[in-house]
A and B are shown apart, each in its own frame.
Chain A
Amino acid sequence: MNEMNQVRKPPVATTGIIGWLRINLFFNWTNSLITLFVIYCLYQFIPWILDWTIFSADFKYNYLGEQITNQEMCSRNLDPENGGACWAVIYVRFYQFIYGFYPKVEVWRVNIAYAMLALALLPLLFAKLPYRKYFLYFTYIFPVIAYFLLNGGLGFTEVSTNKWGGLLVTLVLGCTGIALAFPIGIMLALGRRSKLPVISMMCTLFIEFIRGVPLITLLFFGMVMLPLFLPEGIDMDGLVRVLVAVTLFQSAYMAEVIRGGLQAIPPGQYEAAKSLGMSYWRMNLLIVLPQAIRISIPPIVNTSIGLFKDTTLVIIVGILDLLGIGRGTLADTNWLGLSYEIYFFVSLVFFIFTFGMSRYSLYLEKKLKTGINMGAD
């Protein structure tokens, strides 16, 4: 009887590293062949890319030990056999990449704003942060502080937005666009599903119109046509006009994403909420939206990442974001021909932010899974 009660372990060959390798990489001969081929490609590629980006690369000085001030001094231009990437261009132009043409004496304000942004994101990233509630209050007022800090006013000298550029513009557009589009998108999604025909029609029209038009068109619209709609004497800042366009664009997409989530909520949830005496707004805020937004996290993050990258389009209305500064640098005769380095750097910065967003969405999905999970596992 004792043998019967013994716990049987799974066969060794199916567990652990060996089991994993066998099942995933060497399951049959085609599988093994593909694995070997991929390993060969990686073996060729990884040393080359490491050598180009790091080991043979110039950072500040070329291989002769001189400080690089233009592209002719890059090792790879002096001796094509010898050099890797010439990161000196990033080093020299770093200020522009990060702050644009923000005056140097005032740049501490941007640095504080960056630091505050990180602080404002903390309570969103860490649910178990001590005193999270107070951090959240800070997150809510952060946009106001950032506005005065960056733009001026309240005793700060004004720095006109045409001096802003680089990462600063990318972050301002990306963060504001995403943060504003979220609540507007929720309202539009609820509005489109409203039983009141006027509201539903207006929201549908808005969404379909904005979604049916390329972002570039909206940017031109913001730049050229928005001022025509404003009362005389009010001059809207260029960056604000672009921000309006970006936010409208993003909120239309966000609305459709959230509407998708709303449609996944079973009617029984509405009925249960109503039968408990909840009003329309309570029902939506407490029951429907929390579930709908959870379901929509992947597409919400997806469109947010999309917007973050789409902000690069502002270059066509003359605003220099990170990519714009990069292109500007390339047009400088001193740095002609360093497109690999510049695009690599710009891609890397974008990737860091978008990859961060994508990991955040995975973390959120995992964290919120317990609640929405219908099974007992």
Chain B
Amino acid sequence: MSEESIISLKNVNKWFGDFHVLQDVNLEVKKKERIVVCGPSGSGKSTMIRCINRLEEHQEGSIVVDGIELTGNLKNIDNVRKEVGMVFQQFNLFPHLSVKENITLAPIWVKKMPKAEAEELAMKQLEIVKIPEQANKYPGQLSGGQQQRVAIARSLAMNPNIMLFDEPTSALDPEMIKEVLDVMVDLANGGMTMIVVTHEMGFAKTVADRMVFMDEGKIVEEASPDKFFNNPESDRTKLFLSQILHQ
């Protein structure tokens, strides 16, 4: 194990009932590294990143995030979640709160930030995702792309060291995908540690330091984007790439 790993998964196993969804998964992520995870649906890629902030519980192996091991210890789980931000496929904004309130809620209640300061922070985050003018609207009044950018701003407001993206553009109309990816590219260029589950191969080529390909609960291939796209080792990867790149 390298000393600088910020996320370390060792022999992680997980079952849903009898279904072995993660099989001996090993993954080391260094600080500021950008990992793109891809693979066919049902391959366990979402489950893997959801284990990293304990939205799912792994049954065997160890997951260490920024020196904190994820066990049943609630204190540890809380501490990890404060380090790790997450963006979901379905945005999961809080529909009963305005955009600004969505962003200020966690800083105010979890970090005990004064309200004025939190609002200032929210506006700053909305500038970063380029929609400050939507601050007082409700999520239901925004387009999908705008909602997802609010979701990113909401995560960033907690000042995480690591960001997890679980298929952030899969629920978006094609013309909105770019606006979300642009924000994610900015974030990557800013030095954020990121694990992104996505099928956006263009995005992967631009920002990924490393590609991870999963199938049937296993990591099949791990390589630099250059090698991954041009000269993959496993036949499964080749098949997958041929399917998604030549539709």
Interface residues of chain A, those whose CB is within 8 Å of chain B, are 266, 268-269, 271-279, 282, 286-287, 290-291, 294, 368, 370-376
Contacts and interface: CB of A to CB of B under 8 A. Distances in A.
A286 B108 CA distance: 11
A273 B55 CA distance: 11
A290 B96 contact: yes
Interface string B95-107: 1110000000110
Closest 10 CB pairs of A and B: A272-B92, A268-B92, A276-B106, A275-B86, A371-B96, A277-B81, A374-B140, A277-B82, A277-B110, A373-B140
A110 to B, nearest CB: 39
Interface in B102-141: 105-106, 109-110, 138-141
A287 B96 CA distance: 8
A271 B154 CA distance: 14
Contacts of A286: 105, 109
B169 to A, nearest CB: 16
Contacts of B8: none
A371 B97 contact: yes
B88 A268 contact: yes
B152 to A, nearest CB: 12
Contacts of B110: 276-278, 282
Given A277-B82, A277-B110, A279-B78, A272 B93 contact: yes
Contacts of B155: 275-276
B229 interface: no
Contacts of A269: 92, 94
11 contacts: A268-B92, A269-B94, A272-B88, A275-B155, A278-B109, A278-B110, A290-B96, A291-B96, A373-B95, A374-B140, A376-B142
A83 B94 CA distance: 62
Interface residues of B, number: 29
B198 interface: no
A273 to B, nearest CB: 8
Interface string B158-201: 10000000000000000000000000000000000000000000
Given A276-B110, A277-B82, A268 B90 contact: yes
A376 B140 contact: yes
Interface of B: 53, 55, 78, 81-82, 84-86, 88, 90, 92-97, 105-106, 109-110, 138-142, 151, 154-155, 158
Contacts of A291: 94-96
A278 B78 CA distance: 8
Contacts of B154: 276
A277 B140 contact: no
A370 B95 CA distance: 9
Nearest to A272: B92
Q: Which of A274, A276, A278, A373 has the most CB of B within 10 A?
A: A276
A274 B55 contact: yes
Contact of A277 (B90, B139, B151, B158): B158
Contacts of B142: 376
Contacts of B81: 274-277
Contacts of B55: 271, 274-275
Contacts of A368: 96
A277 B106 contact: yes
Contact of B96 (A275, A277, A278, A294): A294
A317 to B, nearest CB: 42
Contacts of B109: 278, 282, 286
Given A274-B55, A275-B86, A373 B106 contact: no
A1 to B, nearest CB: 30
A148 to B, nearest CB: 36
B172 to A, nearest CB: 15
